[in-house]
Homo-oligomer: A and B are copies of this chain.
Amino acid sequence: MNETFTYEQLFGFVYQVFLKMGCIEEHAILASRVLLDADMRGVDSHGVARLSGYVRLWEAGRINATPDIKVVYETPSTAVVDGDRGLGLVVAPFAMKVAIQKATDAGTGWVSVKNSNHFGIAGHHAMMALDHDMIGWAMTNASALVAPTFSVERMLGTNPIAVAIPAHNEPPFVADFATTTASNGKLEILQRKNEEAPLGWVQDIAGNPTTNANALKEGGAMLPLGGDREHGSHKGYALGSIVDIFSAVLSGASYGPWAPPFPAYVPVPENMPGEGLGHFLGAMRVDAFRPMAEFKENMDNWIKRFRSAKPIEGHEKVLIPGDAEREMQIIRRREGIPLVDVVVKDLQEVGNKMNIPFL
């Protein structure tokens, strides 16, 4: 059911596909890196499994392979970037570099992005800050799959938040999560296995709680983190809204139910109030708050104390955000990246279409 590939094998193929789309070499390398970073970290839904989707958006004229990405508005600590309909995989790193430069000069840098597309794994962009001894933020809005508390209608995307915080001897703290109870990727796994979803993940077309893993496809909606009002879904709804507003209302991208869809066969919403998808990237120099060594020493202490918290019986240990992905990365570096049949077939079709043999 699974076939396993090395990083280099998949990178070589993906890179050729981006080149064939017309990307310049620098962009093809960057986009391939961001995509493969998701596979390496075990976020399979945001890796090469998405490649055919990007290709179809490009075929439909909704992704510009040769964008003129630029800063269109700025202050000492802020900027707005126009992605010129480029791959989010290259637009977001561009914007993050602007944020890092702003932070170098002003202490922090905050960049809102319009006119972009799906940016892949949020954690990648946030983690760019770590090499500069900065805290990194990355958020993006996405097409509406999520119903706010008490809403039948889907109004928000899974709108992830990633925050990466450097430490000294300890590995960095890297949180990267959708603002929903569960990711769409996890739902798809249950669909493939014909299994039920836990209550609190989705609602049906009338807004009733359901365990039907296919509810989303049948007109239902995903649920904000919390699941229902009693368990704090209004908090997940608020978080998803903050991501939407920071990514799209601040930049001039399209927001809420008007966010452009990822599947190329779904038409873009009418009367979009902004341009394309939006992102929000941030960088904060640690030594804009206290001397670097002091911060890092305390961050190590924080991490060690939390890691040593007494675990509940039956659980090995308490994890720090980022631990699971880092462990997966070590395993996949050693053992390769397993792809399920449907993804392999999908990549073969991309290869056939673009005349690039898939391995």
Interface string of A313-338 (1 = CB under 8 A from B): 10101110100000000000000000
Stoichiometry (number of copies): 2
Asked if A302 and B242 sit within 8 Å, CB to CB, the answer is no
Q: In the docked arrangement, what's the CA distance between A237 and B225, Å?
A: 12
B78 touches A76 (CB 8 A): no
Chain B residue numbers with a CB within 8 Å of A225 are 225-226, 232, 235-236
| Cross-chain contact A231 with B238 (CB below 8 angstroms) | no
A301 within 8 A of B: yes
Given contacts A148-B306, A151-B310, A312-B150, contact A231 B235 (CB under 8 A): no
Contact check: which of B177, B257, B302 meets A255 at CB < 8 Å?
Answer: B302
Number of interface residues of A (CB under 8 A): 85
Which residues of chain A in 275-331 are interfacial with respect to chain B, using CB atoms and an 8 Å cutoff? 284-286, 288-290, 294-295, 298-299, 301-302, 305-306, 309-313, 315, 317-319, 321
Q: Give Cα A106–Cα B78 distance, bound, in whole angstroms.
A: 8
Interface contact B232-A177, CB-CB below 8 Å: yes
A249 adjacent to chain B (CB < 8 Å): yes
Interface residues of A in 219-240 (CB under 8 A from B): 225-227, 230-232, 234-239
Q: Name the contact of A150 in the complex, choosing from B241, B256, B311 (C-beta under 8 A).
A: B311
Contact A173 B226 (CB under 8 A): no
Closest approach, in angstroms, between the C-beta of A108 and any C-beta of chain B? 5
Within 8 Å of chain B (Cβ to Cβ): is A182? yes
Pick the most buried of A78, A232, A315: most chain B CB atoms within 10 A of its CB.
Answer: A232
Least CB separation from A322: chain B residue? B238
Verify if A55 is at the interface (C-beta below 8 Å from B).
Answer: no
Q: How far, in Å, is A294 (CB) from chain B's closest CB?
A: 7
Question: Cβ of A305 and Cβ of B226 under 8 Å apart?
Answer: no
Contact B238 A290 (CB under 8 A): no
Q: Does A153 contact B (CB under 8 A)?
A: yes
Contacts of A232 in B (CB 8 A): 177, 180-182, 225
Contact A231 B241 (CB under 8 A): no
A169 within 8 A of B: no
Whether a CB of chain B sits under 8 angstroms from the CB of A107 is: yes
B77 touches A77 (CB 8 A): yes
Contacts of A286 in B (CB 8 A): 250
User: Known contacts A78-B289, A155-B306, A290-B80: does B238 contact A321 (CB below 8 Å)?
Assistant: yes
How distant is the Cα of A29 from the Cα of B86 in the complex, in angstroms?
53
Apart from A76-B76, A78-B108, A149-B319, what 15 extra A-B contacts exist at CB < 8 Å?
A108-B108, A150-B311, A151-B309, A151-B310, A151-B311, A151-B312, A175-B242, A177-B234, A179-B235, A227-B227, A239-B239, A241-B321, A251-B290, A252-B290, A256-B306
